[in-house]
């Protein structure tokens, strides 16, 4: 079966795009392709000038490590680390100094409204707080592209609203090109563009798919 079929799409640097569509229409498959976690059987994908469809494992790993931030429905925080350690850890792994990593982590915790919780452990946080921590972590290395796949799919509505507000601010501040898969009308509203999918195709009004 074709999870995606004839998808043709261009997203400009700094855009904030919301991707919507019913379950099973191919949203996650499209995000995995953009993240270099999956490769297309045919077709081309360029991000930041890098040809993902042609790149080897080392180049893809480098792409994900340096240029990409990912946020999923489940937060995947490390339970043995507190909030600020979780957020700064990717920078430490890249060899950035402890003080610089922590400074950058503090700025991002401020951005996502988690400064007061920086020494809490994962089990002491609500789902929304965990997700906001995960968003801060995804931005720590200043990625050019941030992809969030149903980031509020596992949250109560109050937590979801805060997460959406944080994403809206990231989009408006153009901290990264932002692609958010969401069922939330509020996120879709805040985005600068909405891409609607159906049965592996893009069906947004005005979108022209190749024959």
Residues that bind Mg ion (CB under 5 A): 27-28
| Least distance in angstroms from the C-beta of 125 to ligand ADP | 26
Give the count of beta carbons closer than 10 Å to the beta carbon of residue 111: 18
Report what 26 binds from ligand ADP, Mg ion, none; CB cut-off 5-8 Å by kind.
Answer: ligand ADP
Q: Contact between 29 and ligand ADP (CB under 6 A)?
A: yes
Q: Name which of 130, 122, 140 is nearest 66 in CA terms.
A: 140
Q: How far is the CB of 6 from ligand ADP (least distance, A)?
A: 15
Among 17, 20, 28, 36, interactor with ligand ADP by CB under 6 A = 28
156's tokens: 């109560």
64-80 b/e (C-beta count within 10 Å ≥ 16 → b): eeebbbbbbbebebeee
Binding partner of 11, given ligand ADP, Mg ion, none, CB within 5-8 angstroms per partner class: none
CB 192 within 8 A of CB 17: yes
> Of 7, 16, 18, 27, which one interacts with ligand ADP (CB under 6 A)?
27
Q: Would you count residue 3 as binding ligand ADP (CB under 6 A)? A: yes
- Asked if 36 is part of the footprint of ligand ADP (rule: CB under 6 A), the reply reads no
Choosing among Mg ion, ligand ADP, none, which partner's interface includes residue 25 (Cβ < 5 to 8 Å by kind)? Answer: ligand ADP
Strand, coil or helix: what is 108? helix
Q: How far is the CB of 90 from ligand ADP (least distance, A)?
A: 25
* Angle formed by the axes of helices 83-93 and 127-139, nearest 10°: 20
Strand arrangement, sheet containing 68-71: 68-71, 145-149, 177-181, 16-20, 193-198, 201-202
Q: In a 10 Å sphere around its CB, with 0-12 CB exposed, 13-18 middle and 19+ buried, how is residue 39 labelled?
A: middle
Question: Is the Cα torsion angle 158, 143, 63, 17 positive or negative in sign?
Answer: positive
Least Å distance, CB 26 to ligand ADP, is: 4
Minimum CB distance to Mg ion smaller for 27 or for 137: 27
Q: Does position 201 bind ligand ADP by CB under 6 A?
A: no
Which partner from the list ligand ADP, Mg ion, none does 143 bind, CB cut-off 5 to 8 Å by kind?
none
Residue 26 interacts with ligand ADP (CB under 6 A): yes or no: yes
- Cβ-based nearer residue to ligand ADP, 32 or 106: 32
Q: Which chain residues interact with ligand ADP by CB under 6 A?
A: 3, 21, 23-29
């Amino acid at each position: 079966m074709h999870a995606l079929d004839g998808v043709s799409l261009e997203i400009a640097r700094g855009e904030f795009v919301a991707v919507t569509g019913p379950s099973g229409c191919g949203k996650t498959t499209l995000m995995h392709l953009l993240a270099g976690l999956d490769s297309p059987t045919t077709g081309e994908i360029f991000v930041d000038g890098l040809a993902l469809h042609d790149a080897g494992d080392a180049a893809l790993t480098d792409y994900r490590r340096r240029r990409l931030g990912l946020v999923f429905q489940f937060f995947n925080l490390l339970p043995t680390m507190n909030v600020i350690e979780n957020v700064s850890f990717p920078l430490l792994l890249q060899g950035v100094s402890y003080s610089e990593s922590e400074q950058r982590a503090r700025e991002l915790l401020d951005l996502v409204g988690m400064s007061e919780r920086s020494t809490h452990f994962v089990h002491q946080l609500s789902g929304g707080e965990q997700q906001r921590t995960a968003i801060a972590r995804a931005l720590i290395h200043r990625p050019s592209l941030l992809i969030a796949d149903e980031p509020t799919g596992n949250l109560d509505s109050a937590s979801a609203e805060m997460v959406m507000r944080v994403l809206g601010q990231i989009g408006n501040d153009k901290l990264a090109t932002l692609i958010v898969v969401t069922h939330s009308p509020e996120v879709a509203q805040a985005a600068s563009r909405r891409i609607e999918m159906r049965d592996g195709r893009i069906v947004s009004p005005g979108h022209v798919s190749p024959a």
